[in-house]
Amino acid sequence: MKVCATIFTIGWGAALAFGWIALAAPPEEPTQLQTLNIALAALGAGAGLWSWLRIRRGC
């Protein structure tokens, strides 16, 4: 249960942090860096959602 809770916290934290970086980036930021930030935000959201579903089932 502790592992799932840790992944939940880190996953959603990464989703929020990288999502904010992607949204608040200046327009002249390179496209590759913007894409990387969006991909990391999506990966964090996926990990957070997966661990939340595992916690609901009892991990």
pTM, 2 dp: 0.87
- Predicted confidence (pLDDT) per residue in 15-59, tens digit: 999 999 999 999 899 999 999 999 999 999 999 999 999 999 987
Whats the size of the chain, residue-wise? 59
Cβ atoms of residues 21 and 35 within 8 Å: no
